[in-house]
Structure 1
Amino acid sequence: MAALFLKRLTLQTVKFENSCVRCFGKHIVQKTAPAQSFPIASAPRLSFLIHAEAFSTVEDTQNEGKKKKKSQTAFGNIGRKISQRIIHLFDEKGNDMGNMHRADVIRLMDERDLRLVQRNASTEPAEYQLMTGMQILQERQRLREMKKASPKTGPTLTKELTFSSNIGQHDLDTKTKQIQQWIKKERQVRITIKKGKNVDVSENKMEEIFHQILQTMPGMATFLSRPQAVQGGKALMCVLRPLSKNEEKAYGETQKTQKSDTLNQDQGNDKESNILHQ
């Protein structure tokens, strides 16, 4: 009897638990179903943030830094934007005016109608100078000329040209023009002339071709290495180079002297002829 009673009690307990689970599940479905009928709002898009970040790249920052550095190192009028409170000032004649407050410097600029340029930023305080607009222009021209006159670093480029000794005059003129263009671009030119097949040409005749090419560029080029035999005597080779600035200047002075001597000689001959006629 006791065993039968326990069995019935166990069955009733299981049935009760199942019914409770079903009721609880229906209650959850009823509560959650209406909430699902409403549309869910989508998250806001961040397109405006992405658009803003597209303009703040590392490359732009580097470019701005390069531009700023270039503007600081360039020679020119800085206006009233004096970053230091006290500066060391020189006047437009180069006289040392000592340390001055930037307010006094601006006052001098207005009174004398002058510009302010930076001379040396590494000193303490930094050195500045008052200048006229013409002085600034002349100084810029001087700096450009110094830059052009300074020797260029790096290896000199060499161009090569090879042709036969029996070349026609038209083809030689074309190659000469090409050599002239290279010389103007500060290039060295290595020229090799080979003896033509079935043609007996002396070395003197081939050297004349080199000199003929060089004579078309007076005041522009000269021999870096003079004509010499190569390839077992089957060809002649020389190297032309542009004249340096000093050589160009010396050539110009020589031409002026020669013209002056020729003019004086002509005038002397005219005087002698007039005396004879008298």
Structure 2
Amino acid sequence: MTALCLLKLLRQATRKENRFTRSLCGAILAETPQRRILSEPSLVVPDSTKPPVLGATNPFCTAVKSGADPKRKAAFGSVGRRIPYRILHVINENGESLGNMHRAEALKLMDQHNLKLVLLRESAEPPVYRLMTGKQIHEEQLRRAEKKKASAKAGRGPQVRKELSFSSSIARNDLETKTKQIAQWIEKKYHVKVTVRQAKDSAADMFTVFDQILKTVSEKATYLSKPKVIKEGVSTCVLRHMSEKELKAQQKLEKQKLENSIPVARKDENEAPKSSELNQ
């Protein structure tokens, strides 16, 4: 009987202890979100032999804390007085090397000549800086921008290509029509591949046909790929639109030819009366 009473009392004590534990844990879990500021609650186990302890830890992150990208290339321009290196290799505004010097001496030269210091090669040992005028920096920035623009344009992919194919015995009217079509494509800056097949029982020179086409569109076009035989009886070439630089050079050449031909014509006019006088 006594044993039963003791067992009953032990069960009641165990129940009260369980209720107290549940209420305590509930209070802690209810207060934890309010106390949490930035991090999530997690179990921290400092020692495997000890029970887990409820606490807060900082989240793990591999991102670079600073906003600057270390691989980002600085823009071309004046560095002002922000020089992290003690010894520099300095080039003057005329492109002449002044040798290695202390940064204080380089800054002194910059102030004396009212110039700006520009970083050219940071990877060199020591780093290379150049003294430049504001105009020189501006011109160099424009040059680099044009180069970058041209590189981006070249990297867009292959130029659109148009193709024409016909026989070497093509009629004159048909050749003129095809040449007009080529001129329209060249005007749109397409690459035009022209293929000529040697007709049977025809002695026509396929390369002569290419020359006739190029002569007609010579104001804007030139060979991207010169005429060549790709297989027996078949020749091909690729025409392209000339660049602005090529167009200016061609216009300059034509102007020179015109100027050189004018004195010859005037000389012939002056010599004509003399020959007539001799006949009299």
TM-score of the superposition, structure 1-length normalised? 0.57
Q: Which runs of 5+ in 1 are unaligned?
A: 1-11
Give the Cα separation in 2 of the matches to 1:98 and 1:205.
64
Instruction: Please name the residue that 2:163 is paired with.
Output: 161
> Given the alignment, which residue of 65, 70, 74 partners 1:65?
70
Give yes or no for contact 2:207–2:227 (8 Å, CA) kept in 1. no
Q: Give the alignment of 1:132-151 within 5 angstroms.
A: 132-138=133-139
Deviation per CA, 1:98-157, whole angstroms, max 9, x where unpaired?
Answer: 543323332332232101123554554333332222333455677789998xxx9xxx97
> Given the alignment, which residue of 3, 15, 18 partners 2:4?
15
Give the Cα separation in 2 of the matches to 1:37 and 1:87.
67
Return closer, same or farther for 1:32/1:79 CA change in 2, 3 Å cut-off.
Answer: closer
Return closer, same or farther for 1:219/1:269 CA change in 2, 3 Å cut-off.
Answer: farther
Give yes or no for contact 1:223–1:238 (8 Å, CA) kept in 2. no
Give yes or no for contact 1:210–1:227 (8 Å, CA) kept in 2. no
Indicate the structure with greater helix content.
1
Q: Bigger CA drift: 17-26 or 135-144? A: 135-144
Give the Cα separation in 1 of the matches to 2:228 and 2:100.
65
Could you say what the CA RMSD is over the residues aligned between the two structures, in angstroms?
5.4
What SS does the aligned partner of 1:65 have?
A: coil
Q: Give the alignment of 1:1-278 within 5 angstroms.
A: 12-24=1-13, 27-28=16-17, 40-41=30-31, 43=33, 57=63, 64-67=69-72, 70-71=73-74, 75-94=76-95, 96-138=97-139, 159=161, 161-164=163-166, 165=170, 167=174, 169-170=176-177, 172-179=179-186, 181=188, 189-193=192-196, 202=202, 204=204, 209-215=209-215, 216-218=217-219, 220-222=221-223, 224-226=225-227, 233=233, 236-240=234-238, 255-272=254-271
Deviation per CA, 1:195-225, whole angstroms, max 9, x where unpaired?
Answer: 89xxx99563976653343120347413845
- One-letter code of the match for 2:6? E
What SS does the aligned partner of 1:255 have?
A: helix
Deviation per CA, 1:142-190, whole angstroms, max 9, x where unpaired?
Answer: 7789998xxx9xxx9794613444658556423442256556xxx5x53
Larger radius of gyration: 1
Residue 85 of structure 1, CA deviation: 1.9
Q: How many residues matched?
A: 244
Residue 86 of structure 1, CA deviation: 2.8
Return closer, same or farther for 1:45/1:221 CA change in 2, 3 Å cut-off.
Answer: farther
Deviation per CA, 1:66-115, whole angstroms, max 9, x where unpaired?
Answer: 42xx22xx653222111112323343345554543323332332232101
